Chain A
């Protein structure tokens, strides 16, 4: 046991060092690396519902979008009249001082973590009684509705969109902004990973798995499934809200349906990444998100105009050949490496059966 832990330690410290060094090693790729961190966070938190709890949610984009709008609104509203900032067409620009900018984004992110969590609790209470497809479809509606509603609220810019505060001009270093958002998202990634890893070692995960495998039985065993489902979703909402807040600041412009409540892209990607890597595993979503991001960044521009066709093909390939994701596939192929004990006779017997 001790030995394994030491190996883990090497792996983790290696990854952290790589993560910390990355913006200096690949300076030109800071924005993509920031996206990668956020994508991994989204995939990992989706995996809590979709993978561990067996509830395929398309609603996590709601928390992501909320976080985005909340962070930006707080960041502006703390120091300036928000309505004048976003006033359609007029859009006055007030200049944040360096201190105001960072205070604003700090408080904004705090709000972006808390409010989506509360909303997840409230919505979860209302709809987590639904199961299977019904839940999936219901959550699909959440993101779309939120996008349309946000597009009609004047104070956050409505259809005009919301330009988030520009990075303080007093900081002359053009790289500073990229670094700031990278480290912010990297910190979020580490926080999320530690949290999810903690969950993986806890009774909470077993309860989520029990809900996934047979909710009625779980309930019959005296588990208050509703409570755990809601808490699980609130955990995801917490991290999704933060991820959204960071992305809003990074992108610099929030559009209701294309950037914030972007169910068609981000909302689908988070599911896809988790499934690609292998849902229901700790590392699956991480690997899935990384592969997906590289695929997207590396190949999409080479096949201009055909990228969505390629994405479609990718989805088909994943579903047909890796229904359990890469981690699931590896596990099936090399079960020993995952610490599973295999009865050789049993395996041979299976082969002969074929």
Chain B
């Protein structure tokens, strides 16, 4: 027993030493750097969108730093971000937020990817009074909790596909439509579902299929078989990137004919590239599209942003990247207006944000959501084998007419 006891003492002292030497020396502002922290999904089910988010952040950091950085009290500062991988797991995300704040001394946070993870991190940032500008948590319930340090540059999730139902009703001569819907079991998609329920009630539409899909979505054949049988007017699917990919794959395989298909995350899934003509006519909700006419002095226009992004990362930016870049513009603006690194001063400056970025107008409502920017809908359209996302609603930015109904598979080449 004696020896074991000694072993333990050694073991414990080793741990103690390790812990003490571990305590890091980061601070909120270090030298000429303003240190921001973010837990991002680099692995796990949200990894592709996590990377879009990270690319968006990095792109904006580079650009802002290159263009002179952030000026506070007459001194120029640069942004720097500490990243951790939250493995697409809310438990891990909450733990990492704590770690960023307590161990790395981060005083300003950028959001993670997805509503679920933002929901896990928000209580932590709130507790330590750390301002967090997030770009990828759209769930409505984030904005009803009375969080004071949470700011979202995006529109809430329930607004994503409401417009699509309105469109369908309009095409149906103002009469209610039959809706089939399938949503992933997660905070975001369930919120999109609530938006549809509201829209259905408002327009007198009927929901004839209302399925829940598992996370790690790979198969929705059961739902599609039902759709084939009952022939709804609209099929609504939401399940992040995997949901969009699975839906198109199986709809084309099973040759499901439905007059209108509305989805989310088409651009993050690069649908028009991955599935080409099979994805044609899919209607997608988006926070942003490069053809919109918003402007700012860092990225110029949406088109220019898309071009620069393409050059740097080799793919067209999905809105997840654009909104993430916008989050940093918001932070820069708030720091400069606060002219201080005091967290509460920065927070108060964030409350008063009212600006235009290439991504859209940004102004925060009382719950922290962006109230100045509408959602848009685009439709995948193809010329030959070349497919593209074209904005069809709202009419102010529409470059193309909404194509309805979707031709039957037997008539599609």
Contact = CB atoms under 8 A, between A and B. Distances in A.
Contacts of A290: 15
A151 B185 contact: yes
Interface residues of A, number: 63
B8 interface: yes
Interface stretch (A28-36, A75-83, A200-208, A216-224): A28-36
Interface in A67-101: 88-93
B84 interface: yes
A4 B102 contact: no
B314 to A, nearest CB: 18
A251 B90 contact: yes
Nearest to B197: A89
Interface stretch (B120-128, B254-262, B329-337, B391-399): B120-128
Contact of B91 (A90, A159, A259): A259
Contacts of B19: 26, 29
B91 A258 contact: yes
A301 to B, nearest CB: 6
Contact of A7 (B2, B128, B158, B194): B2
Taking chain A's interface residues, is the majority helix, strand, or loop, or is none over half, making it mixed? helix
Interface string A325-352: 0000010001001110000000000000
Given A91-B141, A308-B43, A334-B3, A298 B90 contact: no
Contact of A307 (B85, B144, B194): B85
A213 interface: no
Contacts of A177: 127
A305 B42 contact: yes
Interface string A1-38: 00010011011001100100000011111111001000
Contact of B194 (A88, A247, A256): A88
Given A161-B119, A161-B187, A11 B127 contact: no
Interface stretch (B92-100, B172-180, B221-229): B92-100
A89 B158 contact: yes
A287 B184 contact: no
Contacts of A163: 119, 123, 141, 145
A31 B102 contact: yes
A262 interface: yes
Nearest to B192: A89
A252 interface: yes
B94 A159 contact: no
Chain B at the A interface: SS class: helix
A294 B187 contact: no
Nearest to B4: A337
Nearest to B146: A93
A35 B189 CA distance: 30
Contact of A339 (B1, B87, B189): B1
Given A159-B184, A160-B190, A161-B187, A4 B1 contact: yes
Given A10-B5, A92-B144, A307-B43, A159 B189 contact: yes
Contacts of B116: 161, 253, 255, 258
B186 interface: yes
A4 B186 CA distance: 55
A167 interface: yes
A304 interface: yes
Nearest to A10: B5
Contacts of B84: 301, 304
B139 interface: yes
Contacts of B183: 159
B35 to A, nearest CB: 15
A153 B91 CA distance: 20
Interface in A257-316: 257-259, 262, 265, 283, 287, 290, 294, 298, 300-301, 304-305, 307-308
B63 interface: no
Given A92-B144, A152-B185, A166-B127, 8 more contacts: A18-B16, A88-B190, A148-B214, A161-B186, A247-B91, A251-B95, A259-B91, A337-B2
Interface of A: 4, 7-8, 10-11, 14-15, 18, 25-32, 35, 88-93, 148, 151-152, 158-161, 163, 166-167, 174, 177, 247, 250-253, 255-259, 262, 265, 283, 287, 290, 294, 298, 300-301, 304-305, 307-308, 330, 334, 337-339
The 7 closest A-B pairs by CB, nearest first: A159-B185, A252-B123, A91-B141, A337-B3, A89-B194, A253-B120, A28-B102
13 contacts: A7-B2, A26-B19, A29-B103, A32-B99, A88-B190, A159-B183, A161-B187, A163-B141, A253-B119, A257-B185, A283-B4, A304-B83, A304-B84
